[in-house]
Chain A
Amino acid sequence: MSGGNSKNKARSSKTAGWEEATGEFYQELYPGAEQELFDNLHRADATSLATLLPSKQARNTTTAKRARSQNERRQSTFARNTQNRDIHLSMLPDLSENLSNEERTWDEIMQIKSMPVPMAQKRDLKASLQNATKLRLQGLEQLHWRQRKVWHRFRIRAAEIMGKLELWQSPMREIEGKFGTGVVSYFLFLRWLLFLNITISIFVILFLILPKVLLVENKQNCQDFQPNSTQCCSQAYLHKNLTDSNIILDVIQGTGMMERTILFYGVYSDQIYTYYIKDFIESQMYYNMPLAYILVPISWAFLSLIAIVKTGAKGFKERLVESEGQFYTYCNIVFGGWDFCIHDDKSARIKHKALYNEIKGSLEEERYKEEKLRSRESQILLYLKRLFINIIVFIILSACGVFIYHVLNFSHDQLREVSPTDVTSPFVNVTRPEKFSFHLKNPFNQLKITFFEFLPFLCIVILNIIVPEVFSYLIKVENYNPAHVIIIALLRTVLLRLSSLAVLLWQIYIYVNDEHGLECAFNKNNPNSVECWETYVGQQFYKLILTDFAVQFITTFFINLPRAFVARHSTSRCLKFIGEQDFYLPKHVLDIVYTQTIIWMGSFFCPFLPIIGTIFYFLIFYIKKFTCLTNCTPSPVVYKVSKSKSLFMSVLLLGFILSIAPVAYSIADILPSINCGPFRGFNRVWDLVILTFDKFPSLLREIIFFIGTSTFAVPAFAVLLFFLYYYWAVATANRHMVTVLRNQLVLEGHDKQFLLNRLSAFIRQHQKRCEKRNRASFVDDDASIRHSSR
């Protein structure tokens, strides 16, 4: 038995796995087993014999294998026979001594926690391991092992600290107790987004806001007026007298006084700051503000992408491993269906019901699939119904788009009528007639302005709330597979939100292209043109996110809370129907992904947006928690954690790609305003990067140019294709291997069955023969007794 181990020394680690497996197989038949076999001989049928097989026993063998160190192929095997309920510390002897070294012992102690035995036994095991004689390690190995210990201790300590600092631990536990792990995964996603936004905000604060606040800009006065001089134009823009309006309205809308703050793109300087740190460094230091302004969004975009892909990859890996099929579905429900963390009475009841429904649903789905030979007519009818409803959905989406378009135009026209864009300009002697100033100071007028500023966004948000309800009603009629229902509902809602955003962006684009800041603010001909279009865009996003947050707040507390109240305290069925809500996960996921998409889109134009976003996420957590715990009852739909996680990440990735596209376009193609911002004077924002790139050392430039040429690109592309093909081929081969091994297993199973049958037949025969002999001997004895008694 143990001789097999010495052969293992020569093998590579891959085949060693198989050798060791066979070795273990034989080692399992240690002395006790044969006795059991003979004891159970009276149960000589194949099934009960099969229960004596090693693979059916609850014996645990933990082998501490160290594949790394080549010179130690000794293995100590702990074999425990749980049927006897005591521990045998049988160290199987090897050819050489069986002492293990410190590191091996330490490893084994670390493995003890995975044994399903009571604590008292674990402590005994640890004590005996520690007291056993062990070899000390020497030299390099000892160093290596010390390193491992230190690193391990560091990780444990870090985990302890992180455990104490974990944000929102008790709310999560509360939600877990009532709703189960599916809903908790949503809140974990929300927390993850919060941390992502905190990171982006830190970037922005460190590199954009702090320099803007701390460093002093060189004031350059406009000497002679030249029509395209950025200094004169921006000076005119930045120093004009602001309209005299209500400060609260200004804060909400982002206009007026707020326009000149660091909230928006406009005031960021286009200069390279110079500064001194007198104590440390004597010479002048430079800070290139425009370069920083373009590099910061690029870096947080990369950061977000890497974070999403890394977190999502874990979920995707799980999706690949799991397979569909009846076996896995039912295993999932039976062994993984009950959330052990639920402890609320009502939730437990609802969970029982949910599981019951799920089992029933799966069984029905089976029947549905089996009965696919339905009549032709009903199938055609079903498809027609689905086509019809898809057309309706499309019509609804386009209607929403058109509606938002009209609302935008309408409010734009109204705004143009009601409010002029500036009052006086310091360089022009003509002042506007006084009726305008009277016009503005009228409070009714101000409210009117605010209303029209927010009208489009209110419409967007309200549509986002109402239309998905319509969709969820429609999808019930279509009779889809339950798994498909969620995906299709999600897709439609995503399209709805995207269409409204797309229309908004398109309108902004038209408006900006029409009459944008090519006009110097110095002497404007068109009183209605926007002087700084980037600030205007930033303002729109600012308003959108504020409206979104406000509406969520209002719906939770002023609409859903009374509904829940009504549902809980009234007895009439109709009211209960209106009042009862459940925490429909896809809708809430879309809410926060939408917020995050707006933040990503708007951050270039409004650098403060991630910070506002962080604050909002923090508040949204409590709002959603309130919705979940107070307004909603536990849902009869079972949310699977692994599917949810991969769903969240896919939707977030989609949002990310869609949000980066417009920003990338505006960086690459649109003319920046001449009056404001870090890129005034350039033809495109990207020109600045090219300019900076030209100043690089020529070696670096050569390298990057070389990467762009075809001499490099084509072979690189070919190599990438080759690797892709290689990995695909390996994957196919593995899949084929799996089928081959499975077939082999089936054959082995047949062999085993055959042998068991033979064994049981043999045992029965043997028993019969023994009985016959016994009977015969009795007969003989009888005969001899009778004989003797005659």
Chain B
Amino acid sequence: MGCSQSYPGLTEDILEDYSTLTYLTKGEVLHLMKKFYSISPEKLKANYNHRFSKEEILQKFDVLRNNPFQDRFFKVFSSKKDGHFSFEDILDLASAMSPDCSLEAKAEWAFKLYDLDEDNQISERDITEIIDRITCDPNCYNRYLDNELKKKIANIILEELKLDSTGSIGLIEFKIMMSRIPEFVSSFYFRL
């Protein structure tokens, strides 16, 4: 800390704040700032809260490139819902996906991500679309699962919650489900 250049707008206090309010360490915040700054130093110097467009972000942070939920990331984590990221949005993203993040926090963010139609429920339609996204390669379209198979899987998942037949998963139920699935924490992770 304090060994490399200082970034405009990123004072010690703010750095301390960031590290308290996210699951990232100060070193990681600085590392992210370095990467973010290198997208376009002048724009950041002019305005600390400058929001970069999706393409600029994807160019620098290539972890998001081949992700089937890429558009969801840009919708959920963008604080002004304009598909652009400011530095603080990147910090939110990194914190949610960091390995130190608690299971509950990850589950809450994941719920927002997986709720494709944004109705605060994960419905059967959402689940079928998720299955589509993870099994289909966007470049070759000849490998779709049948609709009935997808519906069947969605029904199996939703049937477990047969206690209330709304046919969709709410946030709290999702959180409980995710705590029973050991794979969730290890797969919902990347380092920017």
B interface bracket (residues with beta carbon within 8 Å of A): 35 or more
- Establish whether residues A340 and B183, one from each chain, have CB atoms under 8 Å apart when the complex forms: no
User: Is B164's CB under 8 angstroms from A753's CB?
Assistant: yes
The segment out of A4-12, A114-122, A276-284, A390-398 that lies at the interface is A114-122
Give the CA-CA distance A51 to B170 in the complex, in Å.
Answer: 9
Report if B21 contacts A (CB, 8 A).
yes
Verify A340–B188 contact, CB threshold 8 A. Answer: yes
A114–B189 Cα gap in the complex (Å)? 15
A749 vs B170: C-alpha distance when bound (angstroms): 15
A550 at interface by CB-CB < 8 Å:
no
B 119-174 contacts with A by CB, 8 A: 120-121, 127, 130-131, 134-137, 139, 143, 145, 149, 152-153, 156-157, 159-160, 162-168, 170-173
Q: In the complex, how many angstroms separate the beta carbon of A365 from the nearest chain B beta carbon?
A: 13
User: Could you tell me if A51 and B166 are in contact, using CB atoms closer than 8 angstroms?
Assistant: yes
Contacts of B130 in A (CB 8 A): 334-335
Digitize A39-61: 1 where CB-to-B-CB distance is under 8 Å, 0 elsewhere. 00000000100110101111110
**Judging by beta carbons under 8 Å apart, are B166 and A47 in contact?**
yes
Q: Mark B34-63, 1 if CB is under 8 A from A, else 0.
A: 000000000000000000000000000011
Q: Is the CB of B121 within 8 A of A343?
A: no
Determine the chain A residues whose CB is within 8 A of the CB of B79 once the complex forms. Answer: 118-120
Contacts of B104 in A (CB 8 A): 114
The bracket for how many chain A residues form the interface is: 35 or more
Query: What is the bound-complex CA distance between A363 and B102, given in angstroms?
Result: 32
Is the CB of A321 closer than 8 A to any CB of chain B? Answer: yes
B183 with A337: CB separation less than 8 A: yes
Shortest distance between the CB of B156 and any CB in chain A (Å):
5
CA distance A164 to B27 in the complex (A): 8
Looking at A324-332, A436-444, A650-658, the stretch in contact with chain B turns out to be A324-332
Contact of A119 with B88 in the complex, beta carbons under 8 Å: yes
Chain B residue numbers with a CB within 8 Å of A348 are 66, 137
- CB-CB under 8 A from A109, the residues of chain B are 20
Are B184 and A336 in touch, CB under 8 angstroms?
yes
A173, A185, A334, A363 — most chain B CB neighbours (10 Å): A334
Contact A113 B187 (CB under 8 A): no
A173 to B61, CA, bound (A): 13
Cα A122 to Cα B109 in complex, Å, equals 15
**Contact between B92 and A118, CB atoms less than 8 A apart:** yes
Contact across chains for B97 and A335 when beta carbons are under 8 A apart: no
Let me know if A342 and B66 touch, CB within 8 A.
Answer: yes
**Residues of chain B lying within 8 A (CB to CB) of residue A177:** 63
Interface string of A360-372 (1 = CB under 8 A from B): 1001000000000
Whether A752 sits at the interface, judged by CB under 8 Å, is yes
Q: How far is the CB of A37 from chain B (nearest CB, A)?
A: 16
Which of these binds chain B: A194-202, A349-357, A693-701? A349-357
In the complex formed, the residue of B with least CB distance to A49 is: B166
Does A359 make an interface contact (CB < 8 A)? yes
> What distance in Å separates the Cβ of A351 from its nearest Cβ neighbour in chain B?
8
Return A226 CB to nearest CB of chain B, in Å.
67
Contact present for A123 and B180 (CB under 8 Å): no
CB distance from A752 to the nearest CB of B (A): 6
Contact A58 B171 (CB under 8 A): yes
Task: Determine the chain A residues whose CB is within 8 A of the CB of B173 once the complex forms.
Answer: 55
Question: Is the pair A156, B25 in contact by a Cβ cutoff of 8 Å?
Answer: yes
CB contacts (< 8 Å) of A642 on chain B: these are 182-183, 186
**A345 proximal to B (CB < 8 A):** yes
Please give the distance in Å from A338's CB to the nearest CB on chain B: 5
Given contacts A109-B20, A113-B23, A120-B79, contact A337 B63 (CB under 8 A): no
CB-contact partner of A641 in B27, B108, B137, B186, under 8 A:
B186
The answer to the question of A73 belonging to the interface, with a C-beta cut-off of 8 Å to chain B, is: no
Is B177's beta carbon under 8 Å from chain A? yes
B26 at the binding interface (Cβ < 8 Å): yes
Q: Can you list 10 A-B contacts with CB-CB less than 8 angstroms, sorted by A residue number? A: A53-B164, A55-B173, A113-B22, A116-B96, A119-B18, A181-B187, A321-B182, A322-B181, A343-B66, A347-B66
Question: Given A114-B101, A177-B63, A330-B157, 18 more contacts at CB 8 Å?
Answer: A50-B166, A56-B120, A58-B170, A59-B171, A112-B21, A116-B112, A118-B89, A126-B21, A156-B19, A160-B26, A173-B191, A328-B181, A336-B182, A339-B187, A352-B68, A641-B186, A641-B187, A749-B163
> Which residues of B are interface residues toward A (Cβ below 8 A)?
17-23, 25-28, 62-69, 77, 79, 88-89, 91-92, 95-97, 101-102, 104-105, 108-112, 114, 120-121, 127, 130-131, 134-137, 139, 143, 145, 149, 152-153, 156-157, 159-160, 162-168, 170-173, 177-178, 180-184, 186-191
Q: Interface residues, chain A, CB within 8 Å of chain B?
A: 47, 50-51, 53, 55-60, 83, 109-110, 112-116, 118-120, 122-123, 126, 156, 159-160, 163-164, 173, 176-177, 181, 185, 318, 321-323, 326-328, 330-332, 334-345, 347-349, 352-353, 355-356, 359-360, 363, 640-642, 745-746, 748-749, 752-753
Closest 8 CB pairs of A and B: A749-B163, A336-B183, A118-B79, A119-B88, A348-B66, A56-B170, A114-B105, A341-B190
